[in-house]
Amino acid sequence: MKAPKFRYVRPSSVDDVYPLLARHGNEAQILAGGQSLLAGLNMRLSTPALLVDITGLKALDFISLVDDEIVIGALTRHTTVLNSPVVRQHVPLIADAIRHVGHVAIRNRGTFGGSLAQADPAAELPACVVALGATMVLGSSDGTRRVPAEDFFTGLMQTDLRPGELILEARIPAQRNGRVHGFAELSRRHGDFAVAGIAALATLDGARIADARLVYFGCVDHAGVARHISAALIDQVLPLGSTEALLDVLRRDLMPADDPTMRADTKLQLAAVLTRRTLNALQEGPVR
């Protein structure tokens, strides 16, 4: 289908965005890359009166290393993240995950901040920034505000963004020495949104799990740390055996819903399989 009628404006600086958001309120929608937004408009899932096109704002297109934080500007395209040696070296979880975001043509336009603002429960990047303990930097006409990624995602496609606010950047702590990461997802076709996925960080003491921080996507309504399974894994020895014990704990973290293509208990089972597979692979992965 075709998008409904809307108006369009292309501000020339971040400071010009805020008055537009203030003036048009809920009628305005930020266009940060458009790879979900424009698909949704074509399907008439939303009908904003005004698109505020910020895709040309170069000030928000950067990747930098500041002290021990990787700072990714909101308008950094997935392709730029994919090709960044800084990301590969310091946040390899993101480097692994970004390969699964869409396809080349999507990655050439989709942006880091756009994906986070969209907060799709099946998207890779929200899970990664939560797993990594990142901080979101949000801008508005009142200045900037910092929100831990863990608190940023509040529900199904819902974030802590307030009216008039814009994501400026994500600040991601570099993966510490000695920490290992794992990323895996199951999707019907490569590049599709995941049916179930996992972003994991852990510290291993030989084969013993000393610490774990697991975040799921696809089988949750928003990205958040899976506390019960993360705690239950401490002191477990790899390789993990049956998925039965994992399933019992995962039921307390994940409450997937039935959907027309898959039952909730199937998603749980897939999450348990991914958990075992990903953690068992950590032993072979590069220890940083």
User: Which residues bind to another protein, rule: CB under 8 A?
Assistant: 1-12, 16, 20, 24, 31, 34-35, 38-39, 41-43, 50-51, 53, 55-56, 79, 102-106, 108-109, 189-191
> From the CB of 80, what's the least distance to another protein, in Å?
11
Whose CA is closest to 215, among 199, 228, 231, 203?
A: 199
Long-range contacts, stretch 282-287, CB < 8 angstroms, 24+ apart: 282/180, 282/181, 282/182, 282/200, 282/202, 282/204, 282/238, 283/204, 283/207, 283/238, 283/239, 285/180, 285/181, 285/182, 286/92, 286/180, 287/178, 287/180, 287/204
> Which tokens is 47 given?
């009908």
Smaller CB separation from another protein, 218 or 256: 218
**Residue 191 C-beta: closest distance to another protein, Å:** 5
Let me know the angle formed at the C-alpha of 61 by 60 and 65, rounded to the nearest 5 degrees.
95
**Cβ distance to another protein smaller for residue 42 or 141:** 42
Q: In the bound complex, what is the minimum distance in angstroms from residue 284's beta carbon to another protein?
A: 20
Closer residue to another protein, CB minimum distance, 10 or 176: 10
Backbone dihedral region for residue 256 (phi beyond 0: left; psi -120 to 50: alpha; all else: beta): beta
Q: What is the nearest approach in angstroms of another protein to the Cβ of residue 275?
A: 25
C-alpha to C-alpha distance for 84 and 144, rounded to whole angstroms: 26
Using the minimum distance from each CB to another protein, give the nearer residue, 105 or 237: 105
Smaller CB distance to another protein: residue 8 or 146? Answer: 8
Q: Token match 């949704």: residue?
A: 40
| C-alpha closest to that of 213 among 284, 117, 149 | 149
Rank residues 33 and 121 by Cβ distance to another protein and give the closer one. 33
3-state SS assignment for residue 106: helix
Minimum CB separation of residue 2 from another protein in Å reads: 7
